[in-house]
Structure 1
């Protein structure tokens, strides 16, 4: 209650002392966009008479690595609008055009190339900005920048047009952005935040801009310029209907002993609807959607890890305007809605008010069971209903306050969460955030048995050490009688200057708090963090920036018992060869697993271990076609299986090699080993290979393969029996044709192999043939 009152008082104070202001300012940069009656053909040529009537601006400044110095190359941009489009023509001159970096790639995969584009804040309130970039071949990249979270998401895909063309003096790009892409207030004349940008990668990646960027201001979207015009702009009917047909043939079999293949043929017809009800309100709906992922997740090595792995959302229905649901905590992670039959989403922004509503069923119920030493995914074989609603009030660019409510419900199960949050930036350098959430949850009476490794899971004995049974924290967190509730609150403060910054945060999560529609992996937990750093900006040096930073944190459970205390220092360098090099040293004291597995107590029930380890990360591009990365770490690490200290070595090299302008190879490998007193506990290797052949701007062939190989010494496992060998291999071959992000044709094949102590060699146990066809009707 005290936290609620504090937030309420802060809201009143800040609403009184703050004044309404806009974000982007004409003093930074300004362009008046003329509205013409006719559009143009997007072909990369600027021969239409409309371009003679367009406004013209130049990208005069380099904002990185140079600090608002004169741009090293000339970039001219023309812009005009029609009633339903915004059009740009970029002329990117280059004194050495043979050094232009351009590759034929799939959408959102051209970073590292020469690029031109635009950033647009259609409400000019420094909360969200659309970003559109195009390389010299016309490859599109789009994303949304969220000032509230400080993150950019390239998962969003809009339908827009672009075309690029190489010229003897550089390259030129034409862009047409339908106004149906945007949410904006309806008025006779628009004022939007805008920045025109060019990325010019040579020895370093130069960022060129239409306006200066003040490094002494931690709000990026507050520093946009303004674009006025778009007289009587119209979104049109803004109705998109996308029917789809998905067919797959899946064959599976059991191994050891091998059984006959079982075949399942399936054909599904689905329908997606996207309707701009008003220029500021968007309705998404889906019936019987295909929510299978065309692109396989990156391989992850899950060994000596007590917490559940995180996977990004990639599905279009959930990605559209997903930023409307963002808060400082992850209260909505839609990968928890695995396979819905239907879904509906409504998002709207009117003046200072932003609203989002999402509802979907799921054929099963999936959520995260959190703890303070471990977490895991639980699945209930029952249909669930999932609802999330979000409201945010942006008084001005300095202050915003919001609420969030989520609901996940099935038979004998529910989780309800209500939250309030605020962000306040009293100066260009200071940012305060706060969030409070309250939950009520009820589990099925027998859910804890899903995590129990003992023969008798009906009761939990009063004492159960590691050698007696295989109970774990998830058993204790799910063995609940009736409904239970708890809360969480989070406070942060950041002070950012050009050359230095300090920050601190505190979070306290109650023992019985649950956020099952989000990704809350820790409960019964509190953590305080304080840190800072210093930047050196160098001129005429191989390294253009050096950063020294560090932090200290301490964590406890809600009973006040210490879980972890950590100190970390690191130094990083950015400079030539598009390089980024960082290295650090970590010292921490943290507890291992519980000795008595029938209680969640920390004090007197765990061993504390002191770990010291160092790490290194480097990436650079010595040649245009070749990008290299290397991650290393070596030092102490807890062996959680045996509750002892070991020595871990981790090596992760990665190569991105552009074999030709249209063929690219991405190869990464992860090696990890852990030595304990009596020998090598395990050696783990994971190799992820992806070969992409972009046949044209619209079609591609992709081959991916992920191989995992783990070897253990079973004699070194004290409390559990582990197999000496485990291998798995997953492959996928995919052909894709994209007329646009929603009008697609996919044809593919995937399979899976496994081997272990009982299966001598990699043996196939799964294979799938699949096809998807969808077409977006724009009405």
Structure 2
């Protein structure tokens, strides 16, 4: 059973209520005070009492050459400790899985390996029909690994494979509440079916992960398996089914992976140049000209957890095309970012009203990278750009600077609504977050878009407080800055939720001003004030 209530107002009603009504807009100072008071009171309202860690797995150091072929025949696979205590999340929470699962973990100086042995009493009933990368593997039998490489209970990397060897990888942020499903790592996996079991062998290079360098490392980790014919999902470290389908992505209160020693991460250097020769000919002038375009993308690991990305004369011709959408509403469409330069560390720049997936339109994003290099469906040339992302101790840091060239649609475009005229523009973003307690953060962001004549700037503060695994509070305040705009340019959000196995409570308040206009962001609707509450009982 679900009961919810929501109060909100659109533009005409807003003008009436500004004269003393229930939804009277708050002043920006009062909004900031409200957010600060909420942040200070949360620790007093609910004491943090995180669950103790009970599940520990040890990785075995191998000096043999491991071939990722799905066979698990190298002798060191038998030397590694066996992990086999998988329990159900669905349908019988807490009970052992109906089919046994064993996992062994190896590592060498360059890779970490996971060997799954999935026993099955009727191997002919294994469900597997998906071969696409990042396809709907959740609808097949599958196994997965979740790695919290910073062991901060906030972020992680999720890897999943099905019995056909199809692969899925996801970058996890905010304890699984936000996920970048367009993140693609370079890793390997092979599977093999036998009479009474199927195996999956996974090899993940350390260079594809971000972690703090240390002689002895401890990572957060969880693993799981799905049996679709029984609608069954089990995990090594139990997670309450009250979290629903998000349970597999949660990084709070998961197990620990120990035994990683002497890993010296390389300062990974990747170069991706391109050369585009061509010939142009104008028939009327009987003139033929040669053309040549050059470009380069560079990725360099400054440290094991700080990455620099540089781009010059960027070419996005090989980027996956956007999914076609038909817009029958008055709101802007939202398309996920797929360009590799912007995907690195994308979760760190995420500042806005919470969303469940990078593929779904959020109510508000203060920084939306698709505003850079794209205008009304046209590609605007990116002359050069640079970005640094990663963590330094408890601080998450993101710096971005991009310079785009001028662009004008050609003379064949005569419709005034389709003519695009973009001047040379500089975009810069600064994002910082500070980890607090167990799973909580505070952060700030500053965004600037500027050309020779105009500017648009935005800034804000956000906070996430998670005193325990089933309680979560969030809040943010933001403001935009433009010439001759002095009021109604703020945005405020605060909300929280609490849940157990049978009951879930959600509540939030949104206030977005009429003149809140982040040109490098995304706002689904302006001039909105909305209270929302929801009660779910199962």
TM-score, structure 2 as length reference = 0.81
Residue 436 (structure 2) aligned to one of 371, 395, 405: 395
Residue 336 (structure 1) aligned to one of 361, 371, 379: 371
2:144 aligns to what SS in structure 1?
strand
**Partner of 2:526 in structure 1?**
523
Q: Does 1:69 align with 2:104?
A: no
**Partner of 1:514 in structure 2?**
517
- The change in CA–CA distance for 1:416 and 1:61 in structure 2 (over 3 A counts) is same
Residue 30 (structure 1) aligned to one of 56, 61, 76: 56
Q: Deviations over 1:510-569 (max 9, x none)?
A: 22221111111322221221222122xxxxxxxxxxxxxxxxxxxxxxxxxxxxxxxxxx
1:110/1:135 contact within 8 Å kept: no
1:323 aligns to what SS in structure 2?
helix
Identify, as 1 or 2, the structure richer in helix.
2
1:295 and 1:4 map into 2 onto residues whose CA distance is: 41
2:82 aligns to what SS in structure 1?
strand
Q: Deviations over 1:187-245 (max 9, x none)?
A: 121111101111222253x2221121124579832131111121122212322222234
Residue 414 (structure 1) aligned to one of 455, 459, 479: 455
**Partner of 2:75 in structure 1?**
49
**Partner of 1:232 in structure 2?**
262
2:420 and 2:500 map into 1 onto residues whose CA distance is: 47
**Partner of 1:2 in structure 2?**
30
TM-score, structure 1 as length reference = 0.57
**Partner of 1:538 in structure 2?**
none
Write out aligned runs for 1:569-648 (5 A): none
1:24 and 1:359 map into 2 onto residues whose CA distance is: 41
1:107/1:140 contact within 8 Å kept: yes
Q: CA deviation at 1:24?
A: 8.6
Identify, as 1 or 2, the structure richer in strand.
1
2:144 and 2:289 map into 1 onto residues whose CA distance is: 46
**Partner of 2:400 in structure 1?**
358
2:319/2:338 contact within 8 Å kept: no
Residue 273 (structure 2) aligned to one of 243, 250, 255: 243
Q: CA deviation at 1:95?
A: 1.5
Q: CA deviation at 1:168?
A: 1.8
1:43/1:174 contact within 8 Å kept: yes
Size of the aligned set, in residue pairs, is 476
1:121 and 1:306 map into 2 onto residues whose CA distance is: 40
2:528 and 2:514 map into 1 onto residues whose CA distance is: 7
Q: Does 1:298 align with 2:323?
A: yes
2:252/2:469 contact within 8 Å kept: no
Unaligned runs of 5+ in 1: 252-262, 367-375, 443-480, 536-779
Q: Does 1:118 align with 2:159?
A: no
1:438/1:485 contact within 8 Å kept: no
Larger Rg: 1
1:399 and 1:60 map into 2 onto residues whose CA distance is: 29
2:80 and 2:157 map into 1 onto residues whose CA distance is: 22
- The change in CA–CA distance for 1:299 and 1:398 in structure 2 (over 3 A counts) is closer
Q: CA deviation at 1:380?
A: 4.2
- The change in CA–CA distance for 1:343 and 1:199 in structure 2 (over 3 A counts) is farther
1:264 and 1:486 map into 2 onto residues whose CA distance is: 51
Q: Deviations over 1:419-452 (max 9, x none)?
A: 100011234332221100111024xxxxxxxxxx
Q: Does 1:431 align with 2:472?
A: yes
- The change in CA–CA distance for 1:265 and 1:223 in structure 2 (over 3 A counts) is farther
**Partner of 2:177 in structure 1?**
150
Q: CA deviation at 1:295?
A: 3.2
Q: CA deviation at 1:311?
A: 1.2
1:328 and 1:250 map into 2 onto residues whose CA distance is: 45
1:248/1:267 contact within 8 Å kept: yes
1:387/1:406 contact within 8 Å kept: yes
- The change in CA–CA distance for 1:24 and 1:162 in structure 2 (over 3 A counts) is farther
2:42 and 2:497 map into 1 onto residues whose CA distance is: 17
1:25 and 1:245 map into 2 onto residues whose CA distance is: 55
Q: Does 1:222 align with 2:249?
A: no
1:378 and 1:10 map into 2 onto residues whose CA distance is: 47
2:418 and 2:485 map into 1 onto residues whose CA distance is: 21
1:365 and 1:69 map into 2 onto residues whose CA distance is: 61
Q: CA deviation at 1:382?
A: 0.9
- The change in CA–CA distance for 1:16 and 1:484 in structure 2 (over 3 A counts) is closer
